Amino acid sequence: MQGPRYIFMTGGVASSLGKGVSIASIGALLEARGYKVTIIKFDPYINIDPGTMSPFQHGEVYVTEDGAETDLDLGYYERFTSAKLGRENSVSTGQIYHAVISRERRGEYLGRTVQVIPHITNEIKNRILLLSQLQPDLDFVLVEIGGTVGDIESVPFLEAIRQFRLEHGPENTMFIHLTLVPIITTGGEIKTKPTQHSVKELLKQGIQPDILICRSKVPLDTELKEKISLFCNVLPRRVFSAPDIEHTIYEIPQIFHRENLDSEILNYFHLGNKAGEFLLEPNPMLARWQRVVDVFRAPAQRVRIAVVGKYIALHDAYRSLYEALTHGGFARRIAVDFLKIDSERVEPENVEELLGAAQGILVPGGFGERGIEGKLLAIRYAREHKIPYFGICLGMQCAVIEFARNVLGLAEANSTEFAPETAHPVISLMEEQMAIVNKGGTMRLGAYPCRLREGSLLYECYLEPVVSERHRHRFEFNNRYRTLFEQAGMRLSGLSPDGMLVEAIELDRSLHPFFIGTQYHPEFKSKPLAPHPLFTRFVEKSAGF
């Protein structure tokens, strides 16, 4: 087939309808048919990236292999597909304008007036084309336009994709619009009007959707689909119903498949399945998704994992982490229940009450001093009560501080992030971070190799001598304290290949059954079809295996 096909997804009526999960599920289905896909997200905000935004504003910052700080939707794209994503897959309005303005300052527009059309729209189209230039064997480029149709911010993006279709032809481009079909609670009536309005809004931008995916509480019947079809000018067989899921978002590829969405997309482009195993029935990849869903439908047992963090109030703030914990139970069909504990609430008097029921304790990554004392109390509780513990990034750094204070007797031990003048800076700023003043994109970011110590718990989980994991931090274990920690039983079980950076710690097995901390973020690499070994081991240990 010549060049890739392009599928654009817009959203209407309301935000948070799940465009990210929907486009990722379409990606999963196209992969199940044998096609190679990538997914790009356009975010309408002016920030260059979400790296400096509060997780309360934006949810977690997802980190790619190449160290881009991106929207959490990229996490869904990587979890649902095998697409290799990098900084070119997450583009904000800020980046688009930054590129155009920098070019203008360099004099590259040769005296012309720089305008939204064509300069901004060209930049947007070029970002879409860049993906297939980088990966020439792509069959599909899926494009998610963030925000809701009708927002001022999305106008240049909609204009750019309108032009894109004009230039590449309808045979190579498809517009999918995701909308909400609400039920009015008083009469139980299902309302299609908001969807009609949303499509009108799109038409004003010159875009007629080819496919509608309608989110609703209940499945839409043929009559409703026909009504939507008539008013929105979309073929009835291309109006899809996406009712609320029963158990897990991992049902969505199946739900779409049962509705025939993947066949309809391929029909539109006059494509069939790719050859080989993709012609088998039942489709082997869909069967693997089914096994994932089965764990949620009928788990063999449940386990309670406490997550002690600062951003507990918002599930999206630790999205990849919760997903990775869930994946950790798949091998033994264990369902994970989260005990979400706000670290600011943990006090010496209530730690037992808050954590007594936890079968495993996890402290996730974070920044700043708020809630640190509560995290230290939770870690001490896990260590002393021999409850499986997993510390990630800040959660590892806190485990080091707790050990220094309560085992090594260094009462003032701290991270220089919270106490720059501390007498015992067991966690301190990395050498290369010392001179940095800019906040955005300047941490140690992205994938780095880590050498594991043979015979360690960590090695037993991975069964590999060298692993690659993603990072996002400025501070690190202070090498001056290595011997002291080792002598007291805290093992430095993962080091950078040159031996200079401590990437992971664990407690000696004579002291604790499972106590691991990683400076890196393993949650970014866990997928439902390939759970991460550290999460698997942690969840299984917590469940008593």
Integer Cα distance of 23 and 75 in angstroms: 12
Question: Does the footprint of ligand GLN cover residue 469 (CB under 6 A)?
Answer: no
Question: Does the footprint of ligand GLN cover residue 473 (CB under 6 A)?
Answer: yes
Q: How far is the CB of 535 from ligand GLN (least distance, A)?
A: 17
What 8-state DSSP symbol labels residue 342?
E
**Site of tokens 């040159």:** 498
Q: How far is the CB of 84 from ligand GLN (least distance, A)?
A: 23
Question: Does the footprint of ligand GLN cover residue 365 (CB under 6 A)?
Answer: yes
398 counts as catalytic: no
Question: Does the footprint of ligand GLN cover residue 393 (CB under 6 A)?
Answer: yes
214 counts as catalytic: no
Residue nearest to ligand GLN according to CB distances in the complex: 365
Among 42, 475, 481, 485, binds ligand GLN (CB under 6 A): 475
Query: How many other C-beta atoms can be found within 10 angstroms of the C-beta atom of residue 243?
Result: 15
**Site of tokens 């991270």:** 415
Question: Does the footprint of ligand GLN cover residue 310 (CB under 6 A)?
Answer: no
Pairing of the two strands 414-415 and 466-473: unpaired
Question: Does the footprint of ligand GLN cover residue 372 (CB under 6 A)?
Answer: no
In 40-72, alpha helices (H) = 55-58
- The verdict on whether omega for the bond into residue 118 sits within 30 degrees of 0, i.e. cis, is yes
DSSP lists the bridge partners of residue 341 as: 308
Kindly give, in sequence order, each residue whose CB lies less than 8 Å from that of residue 283, ignoring residues fewer than 6 positions away.
Answer: 32, 33
Which two three-digit tokens encode residue 480? Answer: 């001056």
Q: How far is the CB of 392 from ligand GLN (least distance, A)?
A: 7
Question: Does the footprint of ligand GLN cover residue 59 (CB under 6 A)?
Answer: no
Question: Does the footprint of ligand GLN cover residue 425 (CB under 6 A)?
Answer: no
177 counts as catalytic: no
Annotated catalytic residue, options 251, 521, 532, 540: 521
Among 109, 269, 278, 367, binds ligand GLN (CB under 6 A): 367
Stretch that binds ligand GLN, among 10-18, 72-80, 155-163, 390-398 (CB under 6 A): 390-398
Among 160, 202, 207, 394, binds ligand GLN (CB under 6 A): 394
Annotated catalytic residue, options 78, 323, 476, 523: 523
Instruction: State the binding string over 317-356 for ligand GLN (x if CB under 6 A, else -).
Output: ----------------------------------------
Q: How far is the CB of 420 from ligand GLN (least distance, A)?
A: 13
DSSP string over 103-143: HHHTTTTTTPPP-IIIIIHHHHHHHHHHHHHH-TT-SEEEE
439: helix, coil or strand? coil
**Can you state the angle between helices 193-204 and 222-232, rounded to 10 degrees?**
30
Integer Cα distance of 341 and 357 in angstroms: 12
Annotated catalytic residue, options 232, 393, 398, 461: 393
Q: How far is the CB of 49 from ligand GLN (least distance, A)?
A: 15
* Phi, psi dihedral angles at 386 (to 5 degrees): 55, 40
Amino acid residing at 234: V
Amino acid residing at 453: R
Judged by CB, which is closer to ligand GLN: 328, or 365? 365
Question: Does the footprint of ligand GLN cover residue 474 (CB under 6 A)?
Answer: yes
Which two three-digit tokens encode residue 202? Answer: 């799109």
In the complex, which residues of this chain contact ligand GLN (CB under 6 A)? 365-367, 393-394, 397, 417, 472-475
- Give the catalytic positions in this structure: 393, 521, 523
